[in-house]
Chains A and B, each alone.
Chain A
């Protein structure tokens, strides 16, 4: 978890790091360019737009959590304010008929995030750790409550809505169709990703890591930890502001829910589940959770419960997040030892599926019996129809769960050992 962001390229590689880096970014850009061609339905496009926005927001958040070790419960303040100021900017642009293209509006968000980052950061970054977390919580509640009072600017419960097509049209792009908005978001997402990545490579980025790992030593070296925290905070606010402005453009509304504690919680979940210790972690988290949010909620009404359980499991057992899991296998893959793990993983797969299946079945049956009782108590699993009012499905679910848990508990240590052994061997082979 510690060395990964600074991660070095193994010496035996022949391709220059710079070239490889450019290659990766080109590939990422190409993927973002082509995604809507592959997934062209309206629903997919909606999801892709949300993903782009959340990727920026989660990465911005991770500049605090992952890179500088500051846990914030209120980062939606900068996201939300960025959205509101962008919305007002749009209204001024369309009202005064200013020659400003829509693509420039996220700059307003960035500036807003930066300014408020400076204001609130000056007060909150004087402290670290839990105190900082508490202040961030206080600020988000304060801003959310104030926003409801200052209805002139924030539009009260209604929010501020505007029409995004009223800005200056460049090359005939009026941003009416969602696909054009996607490319706007993707463009900003690409640029922000690169910018944030290169910030981690600068001396300042390295100092952030030092502040996270050992603030005392960082201070002895001669750096002001408070100053580093403050700069990281402001930069993070600026990128969050970009994300907020893009969200406002996407929905054509900025509303109170954008700057509340809930939005702050969501981005925390994304960054952490994805893996706060890696640059790419929040990207994985943002993509995955946005997908889950929209897809899982169509399948089950209890989706948020799965979500919460997933988060807790990650905190308890995989503190490195999903990206942490992937990097764990990095050396193994490089050494070509992945096939060796096939057997242990296959062994874990069966009880794992039993466990997940049994647990999910219990949740779904309960849900049918409580929330959806008035509709139907029959759980439709395609081929199988289970009535939650009968005992059989419940017994089956408990057996599945118990069998899965028992087997996994027996096999678990062995599998973990196999992974550790393989990794050790791989490391020895690659010589990293």
Chain B
């Protein structure tokens, strides 16, 4: 039992911090520009595919550096040349643009790399078990993912709270007009934040590619969960995004480990549901089966009852 708890915690944390790498950029972009970037998970996918391509030609480690930079550049370009153009048509148009962009990126990936998952392997340097507990091994690569993600969180936090750039970004989150009046180039800040967010997503992709599956649907699989994290954590709050990432990561992992259903819980209390009711499946489903439902339930409940999210200061 302890073994299951320890490894589920590790798996959950690792998934959670990966989510955070993506959510951090998304929440910054969202709160700053009011754009819910549907293509954010697509940048993550591009990171994985570019990482794969560079791994094939140069090596894994250069890929880990180049892929996020390239994706970041692309993100900045998207903001500068497309999103800014669409901006005058309003938020809905911007939202739709990123929605279309996600669609196009997925299809470009299909055209370039095919529909079949890629054989993106963990680099040989990290392909060993990091440690063994109760004779279960934990792969070094996953530990590496964990460490990198936490390092980035710390770096991001320091950047935003301790540097001048960070202060300007924080200021333009809440008072873009004032920041512009002080002589700062707000559109440029937007572009940089969008690019940096994309780069972070690209990095997440490059490190997640070998561990999860590099395939054209990877963006669509992760995208909705990201929105859950961002809304759940609260807009514009990095700390909120971090906590929400961990919660979602842990909840999803632990749910799988639990074989308890509502029926199991209520039966000892003497409450039971007549078997063939339409809701019977729900009643008898184990938490493991309900796992995929939980994040969205949290999302809807949060939006309806506490629109500011966990740590947010303003409404969605």
Contacts and interface: CB of A to CB of B under 8 A. Distances in A.
Direct contact of A and B (CB under 8 A): yes
Interface of A: 69, 71, 73, 123-124, 126-127, 129-131, 133-135, 137-139, 141-142, 145-146, 148-153, 261, 265, 268, 272, 302, 304-305, 307-309, 311-312, 315-316, 319, 363, 366-367, 370-371
A304 B216 CA distance: 13
B280 interface: yes
Contact of A370 (B85, B97, B112): B112
Contact of A137 (B34, B227, B304, B315): B227
Given A134-B231, A138-B303, A311-B100, A149 B293 contact: yes
Given A149-B290, A150-B282, A152-B280, A131 B316 contact: yes
Given A130-B95, A134-B227, A315-B86, A139 B300 contact: yes
B299 interface: yes
Contacts of A311: 96, 100, 103
A71 B82 contact: no
A131 B290 CA distance: 25
A312 B101 contact: yes
Contact of A150 (B82, B85, B281, B315): B281
A366 B104 contact: no
B107 A305 contact: yes
Contacts of B228: 138
A142 B307 contact: no
Contact of B293 (A146, A302, A367): A146
A315 B307 contact: no
A123 B110 contact: no
A186 B280 CA distance: 38
Contacts of A312: 82, 97, 100-101, 104
Given A312-B100, A371-B110, A261 B86 contact: no
Contact of A134 (B91, B93, B107, B303): B303
A142 B34 contact: no
Interface of B: 34, 36, 82, 85-86, 89, 91-93, 95-97, 99-101, 103-104, 106-108, 110-115, 220, 224, 227-228, 231, 276, 278-282, 285, 289-290, 292-293, 296-297, 299-300, 303-304, 307, 315-316
Nearest to B290: A149
Contacts of A150: 278-279, 281-282
B224 A135 contact: no
A120 to B, nearest CB: 9
Nearest to B225: A141
A302 B115 CA distance: 11
Contacts of A135: 300, 303-304
Contact of A316 (B97, B99, B115): B97
Contact of B111 (A265, A302, A315): A302
Nearest to B88: A319
Given A135-B300, A308-B100, A371-B110, A316 B36 contact: no
A149 B100 CA distance: 30
Given A268-B99, A311-B103, A134 B282 contact: no
Given A135-B300, A142-B293, A261-B224, A71 B107 contact: no
B99 to A, nearest CB: 7
13 contacts: A71-B92, A129-B91, A131-B316, A138-B231, A139-B300, A141-B224, A149-B290, A150-B281, A302-B107, A308-B104, A308-B107, A315-B96, A366-B112
Contact of B300 (A123, A129, A130, A315): A123
Given A305-B104, A316-B85, A142 B300 contact: yes
